[in-house]
Amino acid sequence: MTAAPATPRATARLQFHKDFPLDAAVPLVPYFAKLGISHLYASPILKARPGSTHGYDIVDPNRINPELGGEEALARLVAALRAHGMGLILDIVPNHMGVGGADNGWWLDVLEWGRQSPFAAFFDIDWDPPDPALRDTLLAPFLGAPYGTVLESGDLAIHFEAESGKFFARYFEHRFPLAPRSYADLLTATGDPMLEGFAQTFRSLGTAEGGRDAVRAASGLALDMLARHAGTPEGAAQVAAILAAHDPKEEVGRARLHALLSQQNYRLAWWRAATDEINWRRFFDVTSLAGLQIERPPVFEATHALILKLYADGLIDGVRVDHVDGLADPRSYCRKLRRRLHALEAQRPADVPPGPALLVVEKILAPHEKLRRDWMVDGTSGYNFMDEVAGVLHDPAGAEPLAELWHLNTGRPRDFGEEAREARRQILRYNLASELNGTAAALRRIADRDLATRDFTLTAIRRALTEVLVHFPAYRSYLGIAGRSEADRRLLDWAMAGARRTVRATERPLLELLDAWLGGDPPKGLPPAQRRERLRAAVRFQQLSAPVAAKSVEDTSFYRYGRLISRNEVGSEPSHFAVTPAAFHAGSRERQRHFPRELLATATHDHKRGEDTRARLAVLSELPDEWATTLTRWTRLNAVLKKEVEGEPAPDATDEIMLYQTLIGAWPLELEAADEEGVAALIARVAAWQEKALREAKRRSEWAVPNEAYEAACRDFLTAMLAPDRPSRLREEVVALVHRLSPAGAVNGLAQTLLRCTSPGIPDLYQGTEFWDFSMVDPDNRRPVDFAARQAALDAGEAPAPLLPHWKDGRVKAALVARALALRARRPALFAEGEYVPLEAEGPLGPNLLAFARRREGEVAITAVTRLPARLLGEDGLPLVPPGAWGDTALVLPPALAGLPFRDALADAAPLPESDRIPASVLFARLPVALLDA
């Protein structure tokens, strides 16, 4: 057994759930080891909501999920990994927990004891909200209809748990404990004098001495007594009478039930009330996920105890921190986690890597934004690389004609920024209104402290705050105790400048106050309590700006803006249509200097479309005129298939064009027009994407109130347009365009694969993407993977070049991954620490060649890829530029590299002639990419 490397060479992301538990990965370990993977990278494995398909809805952070096999299964997986010299990276979720239901003990305790619960400070709850009706009360918006309607339905009722002696309200899967103080009224509702003694015991809890712990202990004893009594025939009959007295199906019982529920630490409400009134922080607008106050030391310790133990025991080798921007203070959290992991390194077993642990964060960076280096993390989980590598494969010349084409056909903005700003206003108005109100109220309290500012109303503050959030140019700033950094200053200046253009002139002075309150230097002599108040308000603003950005950009605007949807991807800014080779090189060099252990992703569990779907669609950036002609023809042919819904065509032009792009991007390579079963399966997948896209866009349908008529019309349009008996034979035209784009798309796919495997950072392979990945948004991108086919391809051991004629089956991509990672395994120091050297190409097709060298102490590797190939490919249908098309284009080697005996690691071929110039026709003679080793 060899130890896993301290620095991962390459990771493979696996999505665990009940149908793919930890034991399912054990037989795959030899395959991943042979492929060149050094560490598996697991989705969250702590106990989550039953049936969870993703693991981010954790309900118990101190247990390995039993649906995944529990601790025993984890031990078996780690043993298999260690036997093959591999390690494990774990995705962790410090921002939130799953709530509602009946399985989160901490949450249930808060419902039962309210502010007196030891877990009340674990969750980010505002116990003193602006609404006086919610003082010391938690809004529980888990009802499927208005409260009164639910009461009358009888679906909300009181139940008794014989084992614990507890009464509770139940609404389908939701459990709502009853506060011990309310048991007195509950027990006396039937007028049975024999229960008065029990009732008096619960009444006395309010006067118990000894504080919170004594009250809880006394309550526990009283419940034990009640449970024992309920176990007798007489007690069972009394419990049954109590339940009957609160039967909501009778008017008297319903009144008693309402009176009982009115005494609780929570207020049951329709789920739609959350938008306006919720007084606790959610994950975005998801009411089943409650935010944690991880900045509080007891919360950190309670939620990280098992994670830290797994590291100390040598079962994991690092973590990926989910949604770091949701935390109150990401910098302090990351630094604390780094220190705690470092302190445990000495305790790790001798036969596992001693450290340092890999620590990466899920972070969306704006194009102008850099990850803060003082966080003490190894980098991000790879969205920024995914953006850069996709951007460099798009032709910048296509940006304007495609934007104009989009605008002329839809009437929607050419500029993505305009679309995103409108979406931000909508999200703040409807989806995150309660969070906006809470932040505005926090700022209003600051205004109230000063006679000069107390006349600024809550409504005015909310309007101004909205415009600041609308124009905020990143997910968030990171104000802390030390104040505002220069980077934070620039972000807020940007937002304020935009807000000044759109607020009412009378409220511009209020923007200056907001600027000061949200992180400016407080006045000298300001009392400490008011300083803390300002910091809390600034934190609330920061924890609001992140979900506003995510909901309005990723989950709304990406489904409204269709210039070219390959750029509508997590981590990308569609306004930045393309990345120049110079910018790609600059980003790579910066990563090598500052974050050499950052993950490099091209596909994730959260992507909007698969890496090869994007690669194929990128070809349209090179062919905007051809796409315009096709689009004009298809819209005319299909106009007769549209229906009218609410006086408008269905689908409208926006949804129609994005549907076409999705079809041609996701169409399987070997799916022919005559394959009825295959086309039907694709239509089902696209229809699922379409429903999600329509609802996420929030234009003509939405999750809260689906427009079933519009959705049905769009679904019918999709089916009819691909009907096999259409005279227009559009299905054949779609297939023809897919065949036209796919060879160039495959060149792009192979290019981004090699760039991921050899660039500075740690390449991350998302499950199944060894073969072509033409997936769509989740759950399509989480379908079961045929690992047997991938293992068979790897076992065959073929080099990529001989597989190119059979490129449609995906084996050429898998072989490229294997060869590239094999070189990385042979020369780990070169790829982990080697200098990054951009290389230039000369000749007429110089811009179509992207290359760089990695160099360290006599070791050298050169990566070269073909870019923008659409107009260069031959007529043979291969993803390879004919040698003659390159002319005298050549890769120029600097003096330090000239004359070295290079051999292409991707091909079983003779060494290249030693020279200071490598002709592109030689470099790409058998493959559209090359990996030279010297």
Residues 900, 889: Cα–Cα separation, whole Å: 20
C-alpha distances in angstroms, 66 versus 18, 23, 48, 101, 308? 9, 12, 9, 17, 19
Residues 908, 570: Cα–Cα separation, whole Å: 38
Nearest to 745 by CA among 577, 869, 864: 869
Residues 479, 473: Cα–Cα separation, whole Å: 16
Residue 480 pLDDT > 80: no
At residue 522 the predicted structure's pLDDT band, cuts being 50, 70 and 90, is confident
DSSP output for 205-270: GGG-SSHHHHHHHHHHHHHHHHHHHHTSHHHHHHHHHHHHHT-TTSHHHHHHHHHHHTTSSEEEEE
- Single pTM value for the model: 0.96
Residues 839, 679: Cα–Cα separation, whole Å: 44
Contacts of the segment 638-645: beta carbons below 8 A, 24+ positions apart = 638/717, 638/721, 638/730, 641/716, 641/717, 641/720, 641/721, 642/713, 642/717, 643/713, 643/716, 643/717, 645/700, 645/707, 645/709, 645/710, 645/713
Strands 929-933 and 903-904: antiparallel
Task: Pinpoint the alpha helices (H) of 66-182.
Answer: 70-83, 105-113, 147-153
Contact 202, 183 (CB under 8 A): yes
Question: Phi-psi region for residue 284, left (φ > 0), alpha (ψ -120 to 50) or beta?
Answer: left
Q: What is the mean pLDDT of residues 79-105?
A: 98
At residue 483 the predicted structure's pLDDT band, cuts being 50, 70 and 90, is confident
When the pLDDT of each residue in the chain is averaged and rounded to a whole number, the result is 96
* Residue 177, pLDDT score: 98
Nearest to 279 by CA among 163, 143, 407, 134: 134
Residue 582 pLDDT > 80: yes
At residue 31 the predicted structure's pLDDT band, cuts being 50, 70 and 90, is very high
- Calculate ∠ Cα 261-125-257, nearest 5°: 5
At residue 355 the predicted structure's pLDDT band, cuts being 50, 70 and 90, is confident
Nearest to 924 by CA among 894, 876, 889, 875: 889
Phi, psi of 839 (to 5 degrees): -115, 150
Q: What is the mean pLDDT of residues 822-828?
A: 97
C-alpha distances in angstroms, 84 versus 79, 303, 796, 908? 9, 31, 20, 27
Residues 499, 494: Cα–Cα separation, whole Å: 9
At residue 5 the predicted structure's pLDDT band, cuts being 50, 70 and 90, is confident
Structure tokens at 332: 């302090």
Estimate the crossing angle of helix 508-517 against helix 433-448, to 10 degrees: 90
Nearest to 58 by CA among 302, 364, 338, 378: 302
* Residue 708, pLDDT score: 98
Amino acid at 444: R
Contact 393, 615 (CB under 8 A): yes
pLDDT tens, residue by residue, 658-685: 999 999 999 999 999 999 999 999 999 9
Residue 2 pLDDT > 80: no
Strands (E), 797-904: 835-842, 849-856, 859-866, 890-892, 903-904
Residues 195, 714: Cα–Cα separation, whole Å: 62
* Residue 134, pLDDT score: 95
Contact 612, 742 (CB under 8 A): no
* Residue 757, pLDDT score: 98
Contact 861, 755 (CB under 8 A): no
At residue 911 the predicted structure's pLDDT band, cuts being 50, 70 and 90, is confident
DSSP, res 195: G
Q: In what order do the strands lie in the sheet containing 39-42?
A: 379-380, 358-361, 318-321, 87-92, 39-42, 11-14, 762-766, 599-600
User: What is the number of other CB atoms lying within 10 angstroms of the CB of residue 240?
Assistant: 13
DSSP, res 550: I
At residue 554 the predicted structure's pLDDT band, cuts being 50, 70 and 90, is very high
Strands 266-270 and 138-143: parallel
pLDDT tens, residue by residue, 367-384: 999 999 999 999 999 999
User: What is the number of other CB atoms lying within 10 angstroms of the CB of residue 233?
Assistant: 7
Q: What is the mean pLDDT of residues 214-225?
A: 92
At residue 1 the predicted structure's pLDDT band, cuts being 50, 70 and 90, is low
Residues 299, 293: Cα–Cα separation, whole Å: 7
DSSP, res 284: T
Residue 137 pLDDT > 90: yes
Nearest to 555 by CA among 544, 543, 568, 536: 568
- Give me the percent of the chain exceeding a pLDDT of 70: 99
pLDDT tens, residue by residue, 532-551: 999 999 999 999 999 999 99
Contact 33, 60 (CB under 8 A): no
Question: Is there a cis peptide before residue 779, judged by omega within 30 degrees of 0?
Answer: yes
> 842: buried, middle or exposed (CB in 10 Å: 19+, 13-18, 0-12)?
middle
Q: What is the mean pLDDT of residues 392-411?
A: 98
pLDDT tens, residue by residue, 687-700: 999 999 999 999 99
Sequence-distant (≥ 6) Cβ neighbours of residue 248 within 8 angstroms: 151, 152, 153, 154, 156, 157, 254, 257
Nearest to 276 by CA among 458, 127, 437: 437
* Residue 208, pLDDT score: 65
Structure tokens at 628: 């315009």
Is 585 or 532 the better-scoring residue by pLDDT?
A: 585
pLDDT tens, residue by residue, 175-217: 999 999 999 999 999 999 989 999 999 998 876 677 888 899 9
Q: Which residue has the tokens 């400048």?
A: 497
Q: What is the mean pLDDT of residues 339-362?
A: 95
Residue 529 pLDDT > 70: yes
Contact 158, 169 (CB under 8 A): yes
Sequence-distant (≥ 6) Cβ neighbours of residue 353 within 8 angstroms: 3, 4, 5, 6, 87, 317
* Residue 908, pLDDT score: 81
Sequence-distant (≥ 6) Cβ neighbours of residue 577 within 8 angstroms: 391, 394, 396, 398, 399, 563, 564, 567, 621
Q: Which residue has the tokens 């990994």?
A: 81
Nearest to 661 by CA among 691, 603, 604, 621: 621
At residue 4 the predicted structure's pLDDT band, cuts being 50, 70 and 90, is confident
pLDDT tens, residue by residue, 600-622: 999 999 999 999 999 999 999 99
Amino acid at 302: A
At residue 413 the predicted structure's pLDDT band, cuts being 50, 70 and 90, is very high
